[in-house]
Structure 1
Amino acid sequence: MLKNYFKIAYRNLLKNKAYSLINILGLGVGMACCVLIFMFVQDELSYDSYHENGDRIYRVIHGSVPNDNATEGAEPSPFWVWGNAPVGPALKLDFPEIEKVVQFSGRGDLLLGEGDNLQQEEGVLFMDSTAFDVFSWKLLEGDPKTALAAPYSVVLTKSTALKYFGEEPALGQAIKASAVAGRSEDGDLTVTGVMEDLPSNSHFKFNLLISLNTFRQTRAEVFDSWGYVDTYTYLLVNEQFDQEAFQAKVPDFIERRNPETDSDYNYTIKLEPLSDVYLRSEAQRQPGETGSLTNIYVFSIIGLFILLIAIINFMNLSTARSMERAKEVGIRKSIGADRGSLIFQFLGESLIIVMISAIVGGFLIMLALPWMNDLTGKVFEINQLINWNTIPAFIGIIILIGILAGSYPALVLSGFRPVMILKGINKSNARGVNLRKGLVIFQFSLSIALIAGTIIVYNQMGHLLEKDMGFDKEQMVILDFNYDYRVTLVSEALKSELEANPAISSVAFSRSVPGSHFPNAYTTLEMSDGEMVGQAQPIFQVGLDFIDHFGLELVAGRAYSREFPSDSTSALVINEAAARQYGYSNPEDIIGKKFDQWGRAGQVIGVVKDFNYISLHREVEPLTLPFEAFASRYVSVKIAQENLPETLASMENVWKELVPHRPFIYSFLDEDFNQQYQSDLRFRQIFTTFSILAILIACLGLLGLATYTAEQRTKEIGIRKVLGANVGNIVGLLSKDFIKLILIAILVSTPVSWYAMNQWLESFAYQVPIHWWIFLVAGLISIVIALFTISFQSVKAALMNPVKSLKSE
């Protein structure tokens, strides 16, 4: 009997080649898309799961809350991952449930090597010696207990060791480093370990680790100051650790251990589990990349949509063609077949199609993996997908999809009454038509929601990339010399030589540029009643010409000037948000007020208009721009658009002449700034790509239904043509029913997609409005796509010879 079922299924597939192809291809593409999205989602959810003790690793995040002296309405500050160093050892002493503490400091890039092998290495961390006790990083060479113990010792990743030493053993070798940890002279680092490269699903990103004791050699005071922010702290706790009980003890701990207090705010800490770090952390100043849980939900929903659309195609075509097998069912029932055996047969046919689709989907996945890697910036391999752990799950999913897709058609077909069928009467046909209409509405509701979502995503990303940020970023070349004091010594000569080029309009030095890293400073400033009040805010230490160079608009006072020598020591420029932070709604009122910041004291001389120096995910925050000539990292060069290669070559020649010991490293500010939106741009690409695939799968099913409808109405079309109907009449006849369904789908999908995309936009401080016309456009696009899909079959039916049409039965 089973052999007979397979034979019948095989014959039906061959008999209806077009419909079989649509079903197999639609399901295959749908399953492939769903699996690819699953691989992406699974990778995002797996971040940091490779640590053996990951469930016992926490990190400290730092914040402050208003106390009894705070101004009315004062709010808690955002929590930071970046914080002070003393908190780590103090926690270890006071809480026996903490087994290990590991701390590190991100001290920027480092110039390594010498001669022709001189490179500015990114991803450099000063790391505690306990790192290998807490994190599951495998050392290929060296002793994990001592590798990061001694000053000026370094652990390289495998790829970094290959870069500098090739195939030679790196352990014990010396590598020259420029101005390590604040030393004014170059020095050697000793390679004490080589570790495996970090897995891609790690929120840590580094290429080498220098011992934290190296940093202690020159800045020992940092490790005793509760007010100095430069350290990340992670904890390994024991099995009995209770996070809620720990948090209840924090206030007493802070009061007992922290000698540095603020008159208005109390410093506090919280713990974040390692499992929350990548997707669920709301703390600022992350040491590595973070993901978006909202995006995970969006992609999961899209994957489910695609699979549902493919299953709906199968159900629609199966129920639509059920009448063709009605006589088969009637005859089999009349000779004794029971309903259960018929259901089993039709479900079996469904499973066969699903299995063939799964094989097609597997081939599509293998073909699509390189493209998926480029699209997501990740590395997916087929062995991640197919192994002994996943095979049972895939078999189960195939059976589930087969049952879901084939259950209704099987129930409909097996429920036909043999007497009625053999007489040519089928009362269940109307029910099948209504089901197909409902499924088409549901299918196109999903498609229209995806089209509207794509339009909104593109609008938002265009807004991010094109919004006036309040500063000049076009044609701005950034030269990175990484705080090298020898460059600072020749800064005036470098500026003069560069500005001598007619293609260069201005040059400025600064510690930070928009979009780059910046420190925070505690600044005391005079209030209107004469009281000095302290606040913390970001700080851009800038050169004399920075404000004019970047085109920042002054709303009060003046910029730094060579006409006022005291500007270098006792003047301060702030932005409007900083003025409001101190209670000055009118920027003019803060001019001349006293300030004290990082050992500099004087008066506020200017207020610049707020500009977006950070990404548009966040509002403009208070910012101070003190003039500091010897704290720079970057040279910003504004150049003309014409003859760009020649201008860059000229700049490099000047650099090599005045700064021969450093490589010429440059980038463009607009590209650097937009790197903050890399994950958003990737989201747009993935969202758009899979939305298009979902719509194509929906159109594939619509094509099958249109073909079947045209076939069912062949005789009607012939009669209408004989009575004078033209091609336009026939096309309209076959299209209007589908258009009605799509109009209903527009009404269904609009509120749902508006709500979903409004939730997505909440992650941006600066949002595009969701206009009503977006849903109208999405609906029109879906109508055009549907008309284009069914037009070929409609025109073909309309052009058919009516004589042949009337002979069709």
Structure 2
Amino acid sequence: MGASLLIFLFVQHELSYDTYHEKSERIYRISRSFFNQSGEVNLHLGHLAPPFGPLLKEDFPQEIEDAVRVMNTTLVIKEEDKIFGEERFYFADPEIFKVFSWKVLDGNPEEALTFPDGIIISQSMAQKYFGDKDPMGRMVEVKAGPLAVMMQVRAVMEDIPENSHFIADFFGSMEMVMAYYGGYEELMKNFGSNNFGTYALLREGVDIAGLEAQIPGFLNKHLQVGSDGMTPSTWNNLHFWPIESLHLYSNLDSELEPNSSIEYIYTYSAIAIFILLIACVNFMNLATARSSKRALEVGLRKVLGAEKQLLVGQFMTETIVMTLFAALLALLMVWVALPAFGGFTGKNLTINLLEQPSYLLVFVGLVVLVGVISGSYPSLFLSGFQPVKVLKGTYKIGSMHEKFRSALVVGQFTIAIVLIVAVLVVTNQLSYMKNKELGFQQEQVVVLPAYDELIGNYERLSQRFLQHPAIESMALGSRVPSGRLLDAMETRAEVGGNLTAMDIRLADIHVSHGFMETFGIEVIAGRDFEFLQSSDSTQAFLINESAVRAIGWSSAEEAVGKALHYGPRRGYVVGVLKDFHFESLHQPISPMVFMIPDTRFHLVAFRIKQGEEQEALAYLREEWTAMKPDFPFNYFSVEDRMNQQYEAEEKVGAVFGYFAGLAILISVLGLFGLSAYATEQRTKEIGIRKVMGASVGAIVLLLGKDFLKLVLLGFLIAIPIAWYGMNSWLGNFAYSVSISWGIFVLAGMIAAIIAALTVSGQSMRAALINPVDAFNVN
């Protein structure tokens, strides 16, 4: 019950995301999907282009009460001598607090963002930057690339609850974003920059299906027909997502923050149910096995006039009272374990039955449910004793009851073996993901943001950096491996002698010379970009093997030299790269194109010599501080960020491991009790067999084989259940291990060995008893 309560707290927390908003049932996040010519979705973003929010509100006034946009970016904020890089800075429309219900402690949130320099900060950020001083009206310098503006604190809000699909520490006026895009009019013409989280507050009673049915017409009205004559609604669409569903159901190609999955909720809930069922089965088995101890009591009570219903009520009450005491002990266990469990899950979990009535209801419901399940069969079984046979000492447990008890043992070990298989599969998949050859060298690469001065003077500064003995190479990139591939443009390629429009999505990465060397990416045909080839900066493309296949070229060698038009660039393929995993193993390898531009560099990557990491980082920190004293030195390791993408799976594996171990332990305890009782019932038989010459081994085998048969039957039932469940889980990965028979055999062996050790201990003890003592047992 303690384990189940812990899991319930976690599940309840996951289900509570964004439900605290007063109008949560009317708030929708809008996403944008893109289709290929076959009508299949090849990209689905949780972000929209900037004009969509205002246009939706304008075109659908009867359905949409308000529409707001947020844009997340990492900024540097300076206040006197304090300088921090802030990842949770969101530019937002002034109406955002009309839609969301975050509590404001000071200032007017509806006016704060109407000022061009307005900024709203969280309570924790106010403490971080201003300490005990009043933050209202104070100025901070906000830097975004080349832009640096002074912004005034015009409101302070409570920290956004952690059960939110995104958490902001700052909300800033959209004026800075408009300036970046060239003003309001330019912003409202930009339908390609899908960087804005967009939310609609619908009016009461709006038919969401009816609203979505009008979106194709809306798109055709505001977007231009393509050069190929395709209407906008044939290549993209908008979708409305209830905000309460985002955390568990939305895992699109872009999200404001990573979400969880409803599958994990099902998984954790199933584990909690399994553990409770195993424990309830234990109770039923042991209660019925020891029924002879209470047979005389039941017989006498029936003779004295006790009705069956009264006896059932008595035994049920006893079980529920026992369950209540177990639940109180479970609460103590939860209270002790909650800090560690909360730290493991990354959630701030609490339990207070008095302040949270829903928790009290769950607690009472759990006591009653477990008590009824555990006590139902034993109560009916015990109350069914026949007084005459009991009092004569001729009452025996029927074969039907024995079969039912055996079925319960089979069920226990079926569950335990399913969990063992799950642990083995998850462990294998995690090992596979961490050790799979990715096609590039992720080790020893650290990445920093590429600021304008570095990009503008890259050739000179790169020579300076590369003089340090610990730095082997460096390169600029719009994205680096371990990120997501979200950028793509229209593609035309030379196929069969003709320049043909491609019905594919070719993801682009802008790089500098040395990118392939820095990441150890292999060129299998043609050549890499060359510094002395000036045309490489304007006409050359590198593509991967997946792009060769997607375009329709027969080989990498055929692709080299072919014409390729990508967006506004006209050029040709100079080389083909061996396929590598730019993204996590959740996604298949995408067709990719690399080019050398003079813009859109966001990151700079350094390959560091092994064993000299500290020296290199110290040097980079020193250089960074000298060149950008107003910017904090924040870097990440490509290897670490690649592994971070599998944190959810690692937690699932750990949870499976912990609770599978608990389930097995509970099963073993039940088997131990049953085998001890069965051995006790056959003590005289064992004595007779020993007198007749039976060996210790024969007696141990005699007593243990019946239980091992039940474990074997449980194993056979568990195989299809575990295979189906784990195949479904592996379906979340584009690349995964296969479930071999060896895993099932290993799981069965583990269960059999545990069961054998449990039963044989009792059997050995009985087999070694002196036959004389066996006949003296009452």
Q: Which letter does structure 2 place at the counterpart of 1:588?
A: E
Q: 2:579 aligns with which of 583, 586, 610?
A: 610
The alpha-carbon deviation at position 373 of structure 1 amounts to 0.5
Q: Counterpart of 1:715?
A: 684
Q: 2:274 aligns with which of 277, 284, 305?
A: 305
Change (3 A) 1:392 1:655: closer
Runs (4+) of structure 1 exceeding 6 A deviation are none
TM-score normalized by the length of structure 2:
0.94
Pairs within 5 Å for 1:15-26: none
Pairs within 5 Å for 1:556-705: 556-597=525-566, 599-705=568-674
Q: What CA deviation, in whole Å up to 9, does each residue of 1:254-276 have, x standing for no partner?
A: 22221253525533222222222
Q: Which letter does structure 2 place at the counterpart of 1:522?
A: M
Change (3 A) 1:608 1:583: same
Change (3 A) 1:564 1:168: same
Which ranges in structure 1 are unaligned for 5 or more consecutive residues?
1-30
Change (3 A) 1:393 1:231: closer
Q: Counterpart of 2:189?
A: 224
Q: SS of 2:357's equivalent?
A: coil
Q: How far apart are the structure 2 equivalents of 1:113 and 1:232?
A: 26
Q: How far apart are the structure 1 equivalents of 2:438 and 2:353?
A: 43
Farther off after superposition, 41-50 or 378-387: 378-387
Q: What CA deviation, in whole Å up to 9, does each residue of 1:212-269 have, x standing for no partner?
A: 2210023132331223322222111101311121122222222222125352553322
Q: What CA deviation, in whole Å up to 9, does each residue of 1:520-571 have, x standing for no partner?
A: 1314333324335266543221111001221112233211111202212222
The alpha-carbon deviation at position 360 of structure 1 amounts to 1.3
The alpha-carbon deviation at position 406 of structure 1 amounts to 1.1
Q: 2:323 aligns with which of 351, 354, 371?
A: 354
The alpha-carbon deviation at position 114 of structure 1 amounts to 5.8
Q: Counterpart of 2:34?
A: 64
The alpha-carbon deviation at position 788 of structure 1 amounts to 2.6
Q: Counterpart of 1:201?
A: 163
Q: How far apart are the structure 2 equivalents of 1:284 and 1:669?
A: 20
The alpha-carbon deviation at position 768 of structure 1 amounts to 0.9
Farther off after superposition, 784-793 or 736-745: 784-793
Farther off after superposition, 143-152 or 299-308: 143-152
RMSD: 2.2
Alignment check: 8 A CA contact 2:446 2:605 kept: yes
Q: Counterpart of 1:8?
A: none
Q: How far apart are the structure 1 equivalents of 2:730 and 2:170?
A: 37
Q: SS of 1:259's equivalent?
A: coil
The alpha-carbon deviation at position 692 of structure 1 amounts to 1.4
Aligned pair count reads 768
The alpha-carbon deviation at position 776 of structure 1 amounts to 1.1
Q: How far apart are the structure 1 equivalents of 2:193 and 2:361?
A: 54
Q: 1:103 aligns with which of 69, 74, 99?
A: 69
Alignment check: 8 A CA contact 2:30 2:240 kept: yes
The alpha-carbon deviation at position 601 of structure 1 amounts to 3.3
Alignment check: 8 A CA contact 2:429 2:736 kept: yes
Q: Counterpart of 1:169?
A: 134
Alignment check: 8 A CA contact 1:497 1:654 kept: no
- For the pair 1:288 / 2:257, whether they are aligned, the reply is yes
Q: Counterpart of 1:552?
A: 521
Q: How far apart are the structure 1 equivalents of 2:533 and 2:19?
A: 57
Q: Counterpart of 1:6?
A: none
- For the pair 1:49 / 2:15, whether they are aligned, the reply is no
Q: Which letter does structure 2 place at the counterpart of 1:36?
A: L
Pairs within 5 Å for 1:449-598: 449-478=418-447, 480-481=448-449, 483-517=450-484, 519-528=486-495, 529-531=497-499, 533=501, 536-597=505-566
Farther off after superposition, 454-463 or 537-546: 537-546
The alpha-carbon deviation at position 519 of structure 1 amounts to 4.5
Q: What CA deviation, in whole Å up to 9, does each residue of 1:363-392 have, x standing for no partner?
A: 111111112102211111122797333324
Q: 1:244 aligns with which of 209, 221, 234?
A: 209
Q: Which letter does structure 2 place at the counterpart of 1:186?
A: A
Give percent identity, aligned residues only: 38
- For the pair 1:740 / 2:740, whether they are aligned, the reply is no
Q: SS of 1:621's equivalent?
A: coil
Q: Which letter does structure 2 place at the counterpart of 1:501?
A: H
Q: SS of 2:85's equivalent?
A: strand
Q: How far apart are the structure 2 equivalents of 1:115 and 1:89?
A: 37
Q: How far apart are the structure 2 equivalents of 1:399 and 1:104?
A: 47
Farther off after superposition, 493-502 or 292-301: 493-502
Q: SS of 1:229's equivalent?
A: coil
Q: How far apart are the structure 2 equivalents of 1:92 and 1:187?
A: 30
TM-score normalized by the length of structure 1:
0.91
Alignment check: 8 A CA contact 1:442 1:745 kept: yes
Q: What CA deviation, in whole Å up to 9, does each residue of 1:569-602 have, x standing for no partner?
A: 2222222223333333423333334444464433
Farther off after superposition, 126-135 or 708-717: 708-717
Change (3 A) 1:656 1:491: farther
Q: Counterpart of 2:339?
A: 370
Q: Counterpart of 1:728?
A: 697
Alignment check: 8 A CA contact 1:527 1:533 kept: no
Q: 1:130 aligns with which of 91, 95, 104?
A: 95
The alpha-carbon deviation at position 663 of structure 1 amounts to 3.0
Q: Counterpart of 1:40?
A: 10
Q: What CA deviation, in whole Å up to 9, does each residue of 1:197-219 have, x standing for no partner?
A: 11111111332222222100231
Q: How far apart are the structure 2 equivalents of 1:134 and 1:509?
A: 40
